[in-house]
Amino acid sequence: MEGENGMFKQAKWNEPLIFKLGRKGRKGHILPKVEDEVKRAVGDVNALIPENMRRISQLRLPELSEVEVTRHFMRLSQMNYGVDSGLYPLGSCTMKYNPKINEFLANLPTIGMLHPYQNESTVQGILEILYRLERWLTEITGTYEICLQPAAGAHGEFLGTLLMRAYHKLNGECKKRNEVIVPDSAHGTNPASAAMAGFNAVVVPSDENGCVDLEALKAAVSERTAGLMLTNPNTLGIFEENIEEIAKIVHETGGLLYYDGANLNPILGKARPGDMGFDIVHINIHKTFSTPHGGGGPGAGPVGVSEELTKFLPVPRIVFDGERYRLDYDRPYSIGKIRSFYGNVAVLLKAYAYILSLGGEGLKEVAEVSVLNANYLMKKLKEIEGLTLPYISEKPRKHECVFSAKPLKNETGVSALNIAKRLLDYGLHAPTIYFPLIVDEALMIEPTETFEKEELDRFVEAMRKICEEAYTNPEAILQAPHNTSVSRLDEVKASHPRTMALSWRMYLKKNGQNL
């Protein structure tokens, strides 16, 4: 493209599927033949496997040499982008760089080879780690006890709303209290989780400061209120200053306060949801505590509760009798299990290592630098023509800031989506767009603490150039991206199961073949 010299260019390999690369008989490793030895030792191995579990047909796996496999995945990785490639300012997602040492620790065979059915006496080490992690997370959130089981934020929300239900049920108010209040700035999972637990979601609007409208909240609460789900700082990056008043309003009507802790990063070591009056808190381990996420990989969404609610937590609970760790199933009020075994242990171990390596002071610094970075970006981006910062623009933000590209769209036709696509041409990941829903043409930007000032400056510069280009040459932006391995996708087709082949089996089926 003209005028694009010196710009980022992503690799563009014409890389076939690994199934098409394979050639019969190629091998990665030639393993020594052990069959004879095994036969001598234990007899016919096949006879040891129950008949209905024996493989009858050959697996149709691609056959390749080691170097072919390495090159294949190296090429694919070059056509990709992640937190290890550069800035990933996806608002509300906290896409931070995750220290490799934590991956290394989670990969140690002493962790990876553990089996959840092992006898308690043989897993004292990991139980101690999980127990200590629970204590640290209760300290960080200001809660009384924490359950590590949930596998994601939304899963934690679901557990949280089930706990609300159990609490009201014990009080004989389960039928009456069938409403959960959520602000209009909430993450979509909040009303969805409430609905899954059988509640009706009642939406309250935000005021002109971007906070919960207190009058609207007072009007919404009633004896039907089971609880309020709140994100603080909220998805605009604004801290709800009236949180104590909000807690009072909800508690006075007999409701519970649920804290969506996906945005915990900016208040680590600074403020605690428990102290703000929240009864139930979930944490997104995979956002705040060093687990890469995106693409649906394993995560963890532990849920902390006030003392009053601990008896409802899922079983088993890890208890320590002063000498040994034990799994306690004897909890008559427990809602049961929310996930198999004890949660995603490898993810939890990374959080343990992360907290241990940073310490209390380090966690505070995480919060401070993440807020500093977000406000630095906000200040610089405010100077760009075409963008506005809705909701009192003088007020500092916490971890993220939400801009509107509405002026730019009205004047040039270039939308938030187009800006996001064009950013990719600069070798930068786009921010979250069109969320929260209360901001038109929203660009939700969260830089996190893990990117250097130079990287933030590069982002600001790219945004400035794109907005200038919108006024002079909007066509280039409307067709973007040009420099990536995949050019502009049809948004609808790209997320429709009928157009996608997500596995080799699906691919063959689309072409009229079977595996």
Ligand X SMILES: *Cc1c(COP(=O)(O)O)cnc(C)c1O
Nearer to ligand X, 152 or 384 (CB): 152
* Closest separation in Å from C-beta 263 to ligand X: 6
Residue with tokens 């401070």: 368
Cα gap 18→504, rounded to integer Å: 10
Pairing of strands 401-404, 442-445: antiparallel
* Closest separation in Å from C-beta 234 to ligand X: 8
Cα gap 83→94, rounded to integer Å: 11
200's tokens: 């009706």
Buried/exposed 315-343: b ≥16 CB within 10 Å, e otherwise: bbbbeeeeeebbeeeebeebbeebbeebb
Nearer to ligand X, 273 or 386 (CB): 273
Cα gap 463→507, rounded to integer Å: 38
* Closest separation in Å from C-beta 264 to ligand X: 10
Nearer to ligand X, 427 or 431 (CB): 431
Alpha helices of 382-452 — where are they, by DSSP H? 406-412, 416-424
Q: How far is CA 361 from CA 15, 102, 268, 273, 302, in A?
A: 47, 19, 10, 19, 22
Nearer to ligand X, 258 or 352 (CB): 258
Q: Which amino acid is at 205?
A: P
Cα gap 191→184, rounded to integer Å: 10
Q: Which amino acid is at 474?
A: P
Nearer to ligand X, 260 or 425 (CB): 260
Cα gap 444→90, rounded to integer Å: 7
* Closest separation in Å from C-beta 277 to ligand X: 19
Half-sphere exposure of 347 (CA within 13 A, CB side): 24
* Closest separation in Å from C-beta 117 to ligand X: 27
Nearer to ligand X, 183 or 386 (CB): 183
* Closest separation in Å from C-beta 152 to ligand X: 4
* Closest separation in Å from C-beta 274 to ligand X: 18
Nearer to ligand X, 143 or 231 (CB): 231
Cα gap 267→291, rounded to integer Å: 19
* Closest separation in Å from C-beta 304 to ligand X: 15
Residues 283 and 302 sit within 8 Å (Cβ to Cβ): yes
Q: Which residue is nearest to ligand X (CB)?
A: 153
Nearer to ligand X, 234 or 418 (CB): 234
Nearer to ligand X, 232 or 418 (CB): 232
* Closest separation in Å from C-beta 316 to ligand X: 23
* Closest separation in Å from C-beta 262 to ligand X: 3
Phi-psi region of 412 (alpha: psi -120 to 50; beta: other; left: phi over 0): alpha
Nearer to ligand X, 16 or 188 (CB): 188
Nearer to ligand X, 92 or 373 (CB): 92
Return the C-alpha torsion angle 150, 155, 159, 164, nearest 10: 150
Residues 175 and 160 sit within 8 Å (Cβ to Cβ): no
Residues 177 and 224 sit within 8 Å (Cβ to Cβ): yes
Residues that bind ligand X (CB under 6 A): 92-93, 152-154, 187, 189, 231, 235, 260, 262-263, 284, 299, 301
Largest Cα separation within the chain, whole Å, is 81
* Closest separation in Å from C-beta 92 to ligand X: 4
Cα gap 171→181, rounded to integer Å: 20
Nearer to ligand X, 43 or 297 (CB): 297
Alpha helices of 146-238 — where are they, by DSSP H? 153-170, 189-196, 214-220
Cα gap 87→451, rounded to integer Å: 7
First to last CA, the chain: 42
The conformation of residue 253, written as its DSSP 8-state character, comes to T
Nearer to ligand X, 90 or 463 (CB): 90
Residue with tokens 């996930």: 339
* Closest separation in Å from C-beta 285 to ligand X: 9
* Closest separation in Å from C-beta 260 to ligand X: 5
Number of C-beta neighbours around residue 69 at 10 A: 16
